[in-house]
A = this chain, B = another copy of it.
Amino acid sequence: MDFKTEFKPLTVQPQEIEERSFEMITEELGEHPFTEEQYPVVQRVIHASADFELGRSLVFHRDAITAGIKAIREGRPVVADVQMVQVGISKPRIAKFGGDVRVYISDPDVMEEAKRLNTTRAIISIRKAILEAEGAIYAIGNAPTALLELIRLVKEGAAKPGLIVGVPVGFVSAAESKEELAKLDIPFITNIGRKGGSPVAVATVNAISLMAERLG
């Protein structure tokens, strides 16, 4: 193709960029309250957001990392709330253990049912997920209504997720949904406040799948 020869190369090593970024984060973050196993998640979230306040706002259930690694190594699916989260999550490490990364929010039956019930597609996609994705890791970066519905189903005993990564961003219900999540005694990773979003959910799952892979 034309673009191959028209311009002279500009050498940049992607691996070096990432390593240097991680060093800067560790240096600037300084003291923090996170455990050694939680820290890779914090580091990747700060890397993805350039936001130390957001990184420091992360909250982990005591079993979160262990449960997340276990779910990935057992080949459980990862359920994303939206497509941006689905495409961002690194697939090969999850596929290696037999898992996949799914998103139900644009499925025709989900869209139809949401319209019929006059509710959000996010809510209906969670109802579909708990029936189709046993023991999944839920990666919720956008939809507080999805997280609230998942919490409700956990409380009712209808959902038993392997791990909930609940980090929706926003002004209406986001912070509140995360406060509710933090009250559950099941494996979760969340953060305090309005901030969050797809890159935070993606960074969290990617950090956990890297840890799962490094166990060999």
In the bound complex, CA of A106 to CA of B160 (Å)? 35
- From B12, B86, B194, give the contact of A145 (CB < 8 A): B12
CB contacts (< 8 Å) of A172 on chain B: these are 17, 20-21, 24
Known: A1-B109, A1-B128. A169 touches B50 (CB 8 A): yes
CB contacts (< 8 Å) of A6 on chain B: these are 127, 131, 158
* Interface 9-residue window, one of A65-73, A93-101, A113-121: A113-121
In the bound complex, CA of A48 to CA of B13 (Å)? 30
Contact status A123-B51, CB under 8 Å = no
Give the total of A residues in contact with B, Cβ under 8 Å. 59
Contact status A123-B10, CB under 8 Å = yes
Contact status B11-A48, CB under 8 Å = no
In the bound complex, CA of A130 to CA of B7 (Å)? 12
- The answer to whether A149 has its CB under 8 Å from any CB of chain B is yes
- The answer to whether A184 has its CB under 8 Å from any CB of chain B is no
- The answer to whether A36 has its CB under 8 Å from any CB of chain B is no
- From B3, B10, B131, B169, give the contact of A49 (CB < 8 A): B169
CB contacts (< 8 Å) of A196 on chain B: these are 50
Interface centre among A2, A51, A123 (most CB of B within 10 A): A51
* CB proximity to B under 8 Å, residues A11-29: 11-14, 17, 20-21, 24-25
Contact status B50-A14, CB under 8 Å = no
- The answer to whether A190 has its CB under 8 Å from any CB of chain B is no
A159-183 interface bits toward B, Cβ cutoff 8 Å, 1 = contact, 0 = none: 0000000000111111000000000
Known: A84-B87, A195-B49. A171 touches B131 (CB 8 A): no
